[in-house]
Amino acid sequence: MTDRQTSRFRRVLATVAGLAAASVALSGCLYAMIPEGAEPKPSVTNEPDTEGVSEDLMPFYGQTLTWTECGIGFDCTDVTAPLDWENPAEGEITLSVVRHQATGTAKGSLLTNPGGPGASGVDLIRDSLDFAVGADLIENFDVIGFDPRGVGQSTAVTCFDAAGMDEYLYSIPSAPRGSAEWEAELLAAHKEFADACEANSGGILPFITTINAARDMDLIRAVLGDKQLNYLGFSYGTFLGATYANLYPEKAGRLVLDGAIDPSVSGLDVGATQALGFESALRAYMQDCIDSGECPFNGSVDEAMADLGALLASVDAVPLENGDGRMLGADALMTAIIAALYSQDSWTYLTQAFDEALQGDPSTAFLLADFYNGRENGSYIDNSSEAFRAYNCMDYPVEDDPAAEAATSAKIAEGAPTIAPYWDGPDSCQVWPYPPTGTRGEITADGAGPILVIGTTNDPATPYEWSESLADQLSEGVLITRVGEGHTGYNKGNACVDGAVEAFLLDDTVPEDGLRCE
CATH code assigned at 495: 3.40.50.1820
- Active-site residue among 459, 467, 469, 498? 459
- Domain containing 121 equals 22-27+51-156+206-264+442-517
Pairwise CA distance, residues 208 & 217, whole Å: 14
- pLDDT score, position 2: 25
- pLDDT score, position 34: 32
- Enumerate the β-bridge partners of residue 380: 375
Over its C-alpha atoms, the chain yields an Rg (Å, rounded) of 22
- Active-site residue among 201, 235, 343, 428? 235
HEC string of 86-117 equals CCHHHCEEEEEEEEECCCCCCCCEEEEECCCC
**178: exposed, middle or buried (C-beta count within 10 Å: 0-12, 13-18, 19+)?**
exposed
Pairwise CA distance, residues 53 & 60, whole Å: 10
Judge if pTM exceeds 0.75.
yes
- Enumerate the β-bridge partners of residue 452: 256, 478
- Verify cis geometry, omega within 30 degrees of 0, for the bond prior to 263: no
Pairwise CA distance, residues 101 & 42, whole Å: 9
- pLDDT score, position 40: 57
The Cβ-side half-sphere exposure at 287, using a 13 Å CA radius, reads 6
- pLDDT score, position 39: 54
Could you tell me if 496 and 515 are in contact, meaning their C-beta atoms sit under 8 angstroms apart? yes
Pairwise CA distance, residues 104 & 106, whole Å: 6
User: Of 378, 411, 434, which residue is a domain's last?
Assistant: 434
- In this structure, what DSSP letter does residue 363 have? H
115, 176: one domain: no
Pairwise CA distance, residues 436 & 409, whole Å: 23
Q: What stretches of 201-329 show up as alpha helix (H) in DSSP?
A: 210-223, 236-247, 267-292, 301-317
- Active-site residue among 262, 361, 487, 498? 487
7 among known catalytic residues: no
501, 389: one domain: no
149, 230: one domain: yes
426, 334: one domain: yes
190 among known catalytic residues: no
Q: Residue type at 319?
A: P
Pairwise CA distance, residues 397 & 438, whole Å: 6
472, 413: one domain: no
110, 246: one domain: yes
243, 289: one domain: no
Pairwise CA distance, residues 276 & 261, whole Å: 15
Pairwise CA distance, residues 234 & 336, whole Å: 21
Could you tell me if 185 and 167 are in contact, meaning their C-beta atoms sit under 8 angstroms apart? no
DSSP strand pairing (477-485 vs 515-517): parallel
User: Does residue 46 belong to any structural domain of this protein?
Assistant: no
User: Does residue 228 belong to any structural domain of this protein?
Assistant: yes
420, 286: one domain: yes
Taking alpha carbons only, the member of 462, 73, 34 closest to residue 233 is 462
- pLDDT score, position 43: 75
212, 308: one domain: no
Averaged pLDDT in 10-residue chunks for the chain of 518 residues = 30 34 35 39 83 96 97 96 97 98 96 96 96 97 98 98 97 95 96 98 98 98 98 98 98 98 94 95 98 96 98 98 97 97 96 98 98 95 96 92 90 96 90 96 98 97 97 98 96 97 98 97
Could you tell me if 474 and 278 are in contact, meaning their C-beta atoms sit under 8 angstroms apart? no
Q: For residue 464, what is the enclosing H or E element?
A: helix 464-473
295, 309: one domain: yes
Let me know the angle formed at the C-alpha of 448 by 482 and 142, rounded to the nearest 5 degrees.
Answer: 70
Q: For residue 369, what is the enclosing H or E element?
A: helix 363-373
Q: Which residues lie below 8 Å from residue 214, measured CB to CB, with a gap of 6+?
A: 240, 243, 244, 247, 248
Sign of the C-alpha dihedral computed for residues 296, 297, 301 and 304 taken in this order: negative
179, 143: one domain: no
Taking alpha carbons only, the member of 233, 264, 214 closest to residue 473 is 264
170, 143: one domain: no
Pairwise CA distance, residues 307 & 284, whole Å: 16
Q: Which residues lie below 8 Å from residue 507, measured CB to CB, with a gap of 6+?
A: none
The count of domains in the chain is 2
Taking alpha carbons only, the member of 387, 421, 198 closest to residue 308 is 421
User: Does residue 276 belong to any structural domain of this protein?
Assistant: no
- pLDDT score, position 36: 38
100 among known catalytic residues: no
User: Does residue 189 belong to any structural domain of this protein?
Assistant: yes
Pairwise CA distance, residues 241 & 247, whole Å: 10
Could you tell me if 320 and 335 are in contact, meaning their C-beta atoms sit under 8 angstroms apart? no
**Phi–psi pair at 311, nearest 5 degrees:** -65, -45
